[in-house]
């Protein structure tokens, strides 16, 4: 294409983040959605290509209009083949209303203010144990020792996953998020996709088995609440429970984990903001979390499928066309975020789309992620006031998940 930029090519996602941000700025300056062709991706369903929505206003417009910009059949880019849905069931993120609304209504019990308040003491205790272990072991890898531990423990606590199988859960999650979702050689694609599918299937089988147990003998946990009928007679089927668990583990875990890891690096590289946060933690932690989510966009994109003729900035979309919402680009739109490349924990307003755009698919677990990060950071900065990142983070090669695989640190 005329810009020399190809968002569908793995080579683009191999480049340093600052180079990609520069190219997204060039695309935003064109003031129109740009089309990118795709070549065939082994084992995945490759369409004719997609239109890239890179401006904040366009991402918000598409997010709000779920009738035109459908999440079905899938939101990943490229999308998986049809057989995946038959094996794993319908994930809530890949559905439109009314099916999406039904599932969201049921699983929203997990994120009610009452449930989040109940989790508070458990998150605090987990954070204390994590810092105890860091002090005892010494700092090695912030992701493995801190950021990756808390969210999975919280999710397992919520769901009632027994302690004895949590190590397996953690291992399966790591494997399931290692697949990049972008073009690569056929042997590597087959190997990575196979491991990914096996890990997701193992997680589903695990929680479906637990769900059958809780249906017979309910306990005081979320699985029991989801598989037994509520006052309206609604419950999740075993396959729906499995899909929700994998979504919660992959999306919920990755968002909190990566925000924590990126955040430590940002606060280290911006000592003025670090001092501001340390000076009045409670006043600034909320802003620090929102600015970190904006700055790094833990989930970088989602795909939508157009359902009816639609025009955006002079470009006509036809039914069946694919559009990709690039949240990372929208969160750097200078028309919405002045001096967007600056990390500023006092930024007001901060209407980022790091938890997804407004509309029916806004991240249901956003408040849980915020709660986890706040409690973990409070424990870290109170007990280890000198904590800082060391060296450059090791990032996952991905067009979807802005994941930190490892990050050195010291205190």
Higher pLDDT, 75 or 143: 143
Q: Report H helices in 40-165.
A: 56-64, 82-88, 99-107, 113-137, 142, 149-159
Alpha carbon distance 293, 22 (integer Å): 19
Q: 39-43, 54-58, 342-346, 394-398: which has the minimum mean pLDDT?
A: 39-43
pLDDT > 90 in the chain, percent: 57
Cβ(76)–Cβ(181) under 8 Å?
yes
| Residues 62, 323 contacting (CB under 8 angstroms) | yes
Mean pLDDT along residues 115-135: 93
Could you give the CA distance from residue 324 to residue 37 in angstroms, rounded to a whole number?
12
How many Cβ atoms sit within 10 Å of the Cβ of residue 283? Answer: 11
In terms of pTM, does the model score above 0.95?
A: no
Kindly report, residue by residue over 81-123, the tens digit of the pLDDT: 555 554 545 678 888 999 999 989 888 877 888 888 888 999 9
- From residue 203, alpha-carbon distances to 35, 165, 366 in Å are 36, 11, 22
Q: 11 to each of 8, 15, 91, 193, 397, how far by Cα in Å?
A: 9, 7, 30, 19, 10
pLDDT on residue 191: 59
- Segment 24-53 shows an average pLDDT of 82
* Residues whose CB falls within 8 Å of the CB of residue 394, separated by 6 or more in sequence, listed in order: 404, 405, 406, 407
CA–CA separation, 337 vs 190, rounded Å? 41
Confidence band for 1, pLDDT divided at 50, 70 and 90: very low
Q: What is the mean pLDDT of residues 10-23?
A: 93
Q: All domains of the chain, ordered by start, with CATH?
A: 10-410 (1.10.630.10)
368 vs 71, 155, 284, CA distance in Å? 23, 10, 18
More confident position, 259 or 77: 259
The β-bridge partners of 356 are: 354
Q: How far apart are CA 47 and CA 333, in angstroms?
A: 28
Q: Report d(CA 292, CA 308) in Å as an integer.
A: 36
User: 102 in helix, strand or coil?
Assistant: helix
Strand partners, 389: 409
């Amino acid at each position: 294409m005329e810009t020399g930029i190809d968002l569908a090519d793995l080579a683009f996602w191999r480049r340093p983040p600052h180079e990609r941000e520069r190219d997204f700025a060039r695309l935003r300056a064109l003031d129109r959605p740009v089309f990118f062709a795709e070549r065939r991706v082994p084992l995945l369903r490759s369409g004719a290509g997609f239109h890239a929505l890179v401006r904040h206003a366009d991402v918000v417009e598409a997010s709000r209009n779920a009738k035109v910009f459908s999440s079905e059949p899938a939101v990943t880019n490229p999308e998986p083949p049809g057989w995946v849905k038959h094996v794993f069931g319908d994930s809530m993120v890949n559905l439109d209303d009314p099916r999406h609304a039904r599932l969201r209504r049921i699983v929203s019990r997990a994120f009610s203010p009452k449930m989040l308040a109940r989790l508070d003491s458990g998150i605090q205790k987990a954070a204390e144990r994590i810092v105890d272990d860091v002090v005892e072991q010494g700092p090695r890898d912030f992701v493995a020792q801190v950021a990756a531990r808390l969210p999975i423990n919280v999710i397992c606590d919520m769901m009632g996953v027994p302690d004895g199988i949590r190590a397996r859960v953690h291992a399966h999650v790591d494997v399931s998020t290692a697949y990049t979702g972008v073009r690569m050689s056929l042997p590597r694609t087959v190997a990575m996709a196979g491991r990914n599918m096996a890990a997701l299937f193992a997680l589903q089988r695990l929680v479906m088995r637990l769900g059958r147990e809780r249906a017979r003998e309910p306990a005081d946990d979320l699985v029991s609440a989801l598989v037994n009928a509520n006052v309206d007679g609604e419950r999740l089927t075993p396959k729906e429970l499995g899909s929700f668990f994998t979504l919660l583990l992959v999306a919920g875990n990755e968002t909190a984990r990566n925000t924590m890891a990126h955040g430590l690096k940002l606060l280290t590289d911006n000592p003025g903001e670090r001092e501001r946060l340390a000076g009045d933690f409670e006043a600034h932690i909320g802003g620090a979390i929102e600015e970190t989510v904006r700055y790094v966009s833990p989930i970088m994109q989602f795909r939508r499928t157009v359902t009816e003729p639609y025009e955006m900035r002079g470009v006509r979309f036809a039914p069946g066309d694919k559009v990709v919402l690039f949240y990372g680009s929208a969160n750097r739109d200078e028309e919405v975020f002045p001096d967007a490349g600056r990390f500023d924990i006092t930024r007001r307003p901060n209407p980022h789309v790091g938890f997804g755009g407004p509309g029916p698919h806004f991240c249901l677990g956003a408040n849980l992620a915020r709660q986890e990060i706040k409690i973990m950071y409070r424990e870290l900065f109170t007990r280890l006031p000198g904590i800082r990142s060391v060296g450059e983070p090791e990032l996952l090669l991905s067009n979807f998940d802005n994941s930190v695989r490892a990050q050195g640190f010291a205190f």
